[in-house]
Amino acid sequence: MNIGILGLGLIGGSLGFDLRSQGHHVLGVSRRESTCQKAIALGSVDEASVNISLLAAAEVVFICTPLALIVPQVEQLIDHLPTNTVVTDVGSVKAPIVKAISPLWNHFIGGHPMAGTADSGIEAAQRDLFVGKPYVLTPEATTPTSAITVVEEIVRSLGANIYHCQPEQHDRAVSWISHLPVMISAALISACINETDADVLQLAQKLASSGFRDTSRVGGGNPELGVMMARYNRQALLNSLQQYRHNLDELINLIEQENWSTLEHKLQATQQARSNFVPDLYRNPV
Ligand code: NAP
């Protein structure tokens, strides 16, 4: 199959590796000529160009640009495509994208692979990035079954686990488990660097170990991606942050009141609840 990828970065480049290894012919389009050349040299795509018309020959196109460019790029792309070309995107927020693109292109299905790293760009692309990871698809009632099937087959072949849901449900769910953690983790790092005693701050930096590495990881990631999450999933993220602030206030009150038994109950409840979010960690503890 001829498969197009628009935006050859971490996600687009990684998709290219896996699709090529399955024998698909991968056509890549990116903004910079140097990225196109790198993608060919690394083996992520068969052909690459800065000219979007290269994708006219693709049967399926994955849109893998930064979030803000997905809709404008699709608007440009569809002038070059036959009407039955299937278009899907990988954006981390779904409702505004699906709402804007669905009326423009009947064979469109929103998607979001729940896989990534803190790095970006074609150099960060890696093989098997999606293996064992959730991959959300948000088909509409009007999405042709043939378009859903073809995207599902490709996603399954990446080794990912498919979930279907409404775009709005997706955005609320990822707000809890992806976008809220980025903001909390950023706030944690920010709070630590507010330590006013330079000696204490330096000591804390020297003592930081696995706990801080885990809790600061997503707050120390790509700032552009964090801003995009906040801009495009603003309401869901604000709701999650307000609920989080409420929980933080509860903890502050319990500690101020030295209410150790209630604090312990609360921590017992969170210890139990965690396994529902990350069951693999409990089956294979590391
Ligand atoms: P990325 O590594 O920065 O890659 C995006 C690529 O898009 C850049 O390398 C850039 O290539 C290219 N690009 C920028 N403007 C373009 C344009 N006008 N036309 C064509 N290509 C353009 O970002 P990413 O992490 O792969 O994220 C891409 C998408 O995946 C986003 O929508 C994000 O929401 C979604 N996503 C990200 C993650 C994650 O963890 N990173 C996970 C799941 C989904 P040049 O080098 O040519 O400028």
Domain locations in the chain as residue ranges = 2-165, 169-273
| CATH superfamily membership of 2-165 | NAD(P)-binding Rossmann-like Domain (3.40.50.720)
Cβ-contact 27, 53 below 8 angstroms: no
List the pLDDT tens digit at each of the 286 positions of the chain.
Answer: 999 999 999 999 999 999 999 999 999 999 999 999 999 999 999 999 999 999 999 999 999 999 999 999 999 999 999 999 999 999 999 999 999 999 999 999 999 999 988 789 999 999 999 999 999 999 999 999 999 999 999 999 999 999 999 999 999 999 999 999 999 999 999 999 999 999 999 999 999 999 999 999 999 988 988 999 999 999 999 999 999 999 999 999 999 999 999 999 999 999 999 999 998 777 765 4
User: What is the DSSP secondary structure assignment for residue 175, as one 8-state letter?
Assistant: I
Q: In whole angstroms, what is the distance from residue 75 CA to residue 88 CA? A: 13
Question: Rg of the chain over CA atoms, in angstroms?
Answer: 21
CATH number of 169-273: 1.10.3660.10
What's the whole-model pTM score? 0.93
Q: In whole angstroms, what is the distance from residue 104 CA to residue 97 CA? A: 11
Cβ-contact 90, 63 below 8 angstroms: yes
Q: What is the pLDDT of residue 284?
A: 65
Give the H or E element holding residue 34: helix 33-42
Q: How many CA atoms lie within 13 A of 47 on its CB side?
A: 15
For ligand 1, residues with CB inside 6 Å are 6-12, 29-32, 35, 64-67, 69, 73, 90-92, 112-113, 116, 120-122, 225
Closest of 18, 2, 21 to residue 29, by C-alpha: 2
Closest of 125, 98, 127 to residue 111, by C-alpha: 98
**Ligand 1: which atom is nearest the Cα of residue 224?**
3
Pocket test for ligand 1, best of 5, 11, 76 (most atoms within 8 A of CB): 11
